[in-house]
Amino acid sequence: MGRAVDDMTDIERAVSILRAGGLVAFPTETVYGLGADATNAAAVGKIYAAKGRPSTNPLIAHVADAAVARRYAAEWPDAAEALARAFWPGPLTLVLPRGGAIVPEAAAGGKTVALRAPDHPLALALLRAFDGPVAAPSANRSTRVSPTTARHVREELGDAVDLILDGGPCAVGIESTVLDLTTAPPRILRPGAVTAAHLAPVIGRVDAPDIATAIEARATSPGQHAVHYAPRAAAHRFDAADLPRILAHLKLHADRAWALLLLGHREGVARAFAAAGRGPDVPRVIMEMPATPDAYAQRLYATLRDLDRRNVETIYVEFPPAGPEWAALRDRLRRATTPLP
Ligand code: TXA
Ligand code: MG
């Protein structure tokens, strides 16, 4: 009982901060967002300042549901209605022609707006009470790892945010799928938990470039810079076939602070290192990441942050296999790491 009353109070405070042009960080099912009133140019400006985000990178406008979304899109095609019915609230963002009430600053001056109804009770309570669009990028400094807990937000943004709503760790863990509905066929600009295979039964064929070349070159999603989601440590990716080479390399560097992120369990890898000596203050971490994409995504960003906190200097990440279910993680890891030198 007391808990529900506290939450109400937090939501009311959050709404009055938004109405006054302030910043509220809030949980979603994907990552935490840094929110401002998307109809207030000065408020939106504070988001860019707090994040150090280039003004050319547009923001997602969060809404409670499709009924609110259609007020802020200049067009609401059948495909948008069908997708909202099938996937909202959820990790799917729809790019549509921008309605006039969304300030140009929230859309980086463009003619389109990205809209999404997030699947988190606190976010939905906030959006319903605010009854308008909340512009919110991930609540991290630009190019850094997205936050998946309230503590991550505090570490990233501290006093730059007026209120942080704490909804616990995010269930999905990586950012929403961004789908451009202004092109035919619609096109995935950023892969996420909702894949082309999920979308096709609802709207037919979808363009889903496997990201390495296509998205990085495209001007329509300026947020898709090559370097993004990056930990402070140097981070390199390697293919499963290269594991023996990596192990040999790491054995030569037992004195360095490194971490090895394996995909699932690899019999004998940890044992191979147990014998080699090391100084007590040098972190050397062998981590088995989940072998399924959903569980991997849920842990990825918290793991990278944790390794930074432990002052690991170099992180070696086993790259996920081909296949659409890993596409979003390949995308994030491609941006967070560089190939092995
Ligand atoms: O899961 C998410 O999407 C999280 C949570 C907070 O909702 N938000 C998020 O926002 O990841 P942000 O700003 O970090 O990423 C938004 C992405 C960027 O790649 C941006 O370029 C793209 O969406 N985007 C936003 N508006 C767009 C538009 N009008 N046209 C094309 N791409 C757009
Ligand atoms: Mg972001």
| Residues 83-120 pLDDT 10s | 999 999 999 999 999 998 999 999 999 999 999 999 99
Dist. CA 85 → ligand 2 center (Å):
25
What gap in Å lies between CA 62 and CA 115, rounded to an integer?
Answer: 6
Q: Which residues contact 251 (CB under 8 A, 6 or more apart)?
A: 272, 273, 276
Phi, psi angle pair for 81, to nearest 5°: -60, -45
Quick one: which of 300, 304, 305 has its CA closest to 320? 300
Q: In this structure, which residue's CA is closest to atom 24 in ligand 1?
A: 58
Question: Taking 60 as the threshold, does the pLDDT of residue 219 lie above it?
Answer: no
Question: Taking 70 as the threshold, does the pLDDT of residue 333 lie above it?
Answer: yes
Q: What is the pLDDT of residues 113-127, one digit of tens each?
A: 999 999 999 999 999
Dist. CA 140 → ligand 2 center (Å):
7
Q: Which CATH class is domain 234-339?
A: alpha beta
Q: Which residues contact 106 (CB under 8 A, 6 or more apart)?
A: 38, 44, 58, 59, 61, 113, 135
Beta bridge partners of 261: 287, 317
* Residue ranges of domains in the chain: 3-203, 234-339
Quick one: which of 318, 334, 340 has its CA closest to 212? 334
Q: Among 175, 194, 220, say which to mutate for ligand 1: greatest number of ligand atoms within 8 Å of CB.
A: 175
pTM to 2 decimal places: 0.92
pLDDT confidence tier of residue 218, bands split at 50, 70 and 90: very low
Letter for the amino acid at 272?
A: A
Quick one: which of 107, 91, 88 has its CA closest to 99? 107
β-sheet with 284-289: strand ranges across:
284-289, 258-263, 314-318, 234-238, 338-339
pLDDT confidence tier of residue 270, bands split at 50, 70 and 90: confident
Dist. CA 213 → ligand 1 center (Å):
19
The number of the ligand nearest the C-alpha atom of 225 reads: 1
Q: What is the pLDDT of residues 224-257, one digit of tens each?
A: 445 667 888 999 999 999 999 998 888 888 788 9
* More reliable by pLDDT, 217 or 110: 110
Q: Which residues have any ligand 1 atom within 6 Å of their CB?
A: 28, 30-31, 33, 57-60, 91, 93, 95, 107, 110, 112-114, 116, 118, 136-138, 175-176, 178, 189-190, 220-224
Please give the CATH number for the structural domain made up of 3-203: 3.90.870.10
What gap in Å lies between CA 5 and CA 116, rounded to an integer?
Answer: 27
Counting from 1 in the atom list of ligand 1, the atom nearest the Cα of 139 is: 6
Contact (Cβ atoms closer than 8 angstroms) between residue 138 and residue 160: no
User: To which residue do tokens 């994907």 refer?
Assistant: 30
Question: Taking 60 as the threshold, does the pLDDT of residue 266 lie above it?
Answer: yes
Question: Taking 90 as the threshold, does the pLDDT of residue 209 lie above it?
Answer: no
Mean pLDDT of the chain: 90
pLDDT confidence tier of residue 214, bands split at 50, 70 and 90: very low
User: Tokens for 178?
Assistant: 């961004």
